[in-house]
Structure 1
Amino acid sequence: MTTKRSTTKRTATKRTATKRGTGKATTTTGPVLGARALNRATLDRQLLLRRSPLSALAAVQHLVGLQAQEVKPPYYALAARLDGFTTEELSGLLADRAVVRIVTMRSTIHLHTADDSLTLRPLVQPARDREIAYFRNGLVGVDLDRLAVLARELVEAEPRTMKQLREALGAEWPDADPQSLAIAARCKLPLVQVTPRGLWGRSAQVALTTAEHWLGRPAEPAASADATVLRYLAAFGPASVKDMQTWSGLTRMRDAFERLRPELVTFRDDNGVELFDLPDAPRPDPDTPAPPRFLPEFDNLLLSHADRTRVIPPANRGRTWQANTFFCPLLVDGFLAGVWRILGDALVIEPFTELTKAQRGEVTEEAERMLRVVHPQTPYDIRFDTVIP
């Protein structure tokens, strides 16, 4: 792939750093990437500048998983990104156990390939261990290693709901908080949601078993921090150390970036923050057209950087939720420009500012396409609601 390099400003910023073990200051320079350049680079890697011919399985692998707090978001996420995607394709992958729903990054449910579920979950285990500490008051007197053994026996005997886990573990530790016991089990074990949960149009309540039991494969060593940094940059870069830590929920990732520094390139954002990237990764011209895209709530595009201004203009920060209600983001010209939701028999689009006639036409065309892909049997009206103040 030919990579454009005209995305950087012609100015460069200097960085003074202390080389480890020497105490000597060294000065480096890096071109500046503005918000629009970062936007286009990230959209390209997120398969959102143009629809990708990748299969659903290959896309899930490339994106290092999809947010899957609810059933529908992964389907909407792939519909926005892939050419020829169908809901049956992803449901088939779930039914065949080629992909699974499991808690990984940021303690949230992600849809991962089977291979990634067995290696990424061990990588983020330190974050899951820290999560248990938040519930320590409800776990007084509980042997966590014994809890993990008992919980594994329970869910591998048959998939269990969280309610069933609470009840079974509560019988063993009657003085502990049942919810804390179930959460501790989820943190200690790589629990996947078994099908039919996650299947399009055929979902069910959450029932859990271990990834090893569901996939019929033993646990694998954790993915290396270095390899995961490279995968993150391929899907979300250019990015800072804090960006990667925000995405993963891990801490102390600086060492991995420093080990990789000789094989990476570096830039600066408008605030002077150092950004790392793969040398041959795409960095399109900031003026590259970015068609409208309908994304699901909690899409990783909006949640995987410490500085989210590459996608969310400062004026629109926090506008995808109101009073514990989360809306789906609409991108116009690559940036968050409104929200959408399906209400009754209508797809309702609520822009944050007035759209031009051309933009409304493009948004409507994209909405029609999305509905054909995800809801081909259901007729929906497309309605622009009042601009959200």
Structure 2
Amino acid sequence: MGKNFKMVAKTLYGLEELLAQELRQLGASAIETGTRNVSFEGDTGFMYKANLCCRTAIKILKPITAFNVFSEEDLYKRVYDMPWENYMSANGSLAIDATVYSEQFTHSQYVAFKTKDAIVDRFRDREGERPNVDLDHPTLRINIHIDRNICTVSLDSSGHSLHKRGYKTESTLAPINEVLAAGMIMLSGWSGQCDLMDPMCGSGTIVTEAAMIACNIPPNLNRDEFGFETWPDFDVDLYERIEDAALNKVRDFHFKIYGFDKDPVAVKKAKENAKNANLQDFIDFEVKDFFESEKETGRQLYMIFNPPYDERISVADISKFYADIGSTLKHGYAGTQAWMITSNMEALKHVGLRPSTRIKLYNGKLESKFVRYEMYEGSKKEKKQ
């Protein structure tokens, strides 16, 4: 499979340790966690496997060089001097993503523009023709990261963000990111050991990710393409062997996953998305108002949901809405471990239950708390005794 090289997996804030654990279980070495990223080492086959199998990764980057930059002229010259013909041809296409944390470089789009100019000029000067820019389906997606005066140039092996699993063709007003949904499930400790419910399921992201976790199905199995598939050295036979090996680890699931929503349109969309992922047999969807529901079995239940925050989805009385969540959990869901994420800290106070866990996450740009409520059978005092 070739020798190992360094890679960087990008993730969401609060999911770094989960991603490091995923990479460790897949067989990565030299793992180091950062903020919103995990660096590691592996070979080409492992790069394919990480893209296919990591639930909490957004990108898998392959750094190819790093250098000091003190001006835009430095950046242009150093990028121009790189052997880009090893990575793509003049009749190919490229896209550049840039992130900057620097006093000298303050505009990421300008950095991306200068990088593009340098690559295009090198091809034109050497070969008389130049690659085009294609932001949607480029031959090569390049990542530029400038931290103060250090510029790291990486090849983006993922292409589009890995949260775009390929199954979600129908969306509701405020859908949760697939990587965040998977991370929440993993943080909760649920891996298929009992029933799971999302009582406000929207387009079904949480329950669909849960079904994949329960059955150990690779999260990115339904994607149309990865970035590495257009690289000159792409080994399709190796990728197919890795995909087959991952599919051989799929397991049975013997409990139930429930997705409820009071909006019939949302439930219809959720069903369609689950069907796209070939997971419709594992999830029971139903049009149901959570506030008029109760637990239907005596079995242990995990509940994970993303209620409205009164941000993208407005609620007439958000305080009462959250109070009703607490009341419904208390009176209808004994024997349940309930987790929910919200950015509305004021509304959260009205739940009227004391969370046993609070984890800081971000839902998009919204700083949020992922909280757990333990709904015991009988009193908490009896449970402890």
Normalised by the length of structure 2, the TM-score is 0.28
User: Which structure shows the higher strand fraction?
Assistant: 2
Structure with the greater alpha carbon radius of gyration: 2
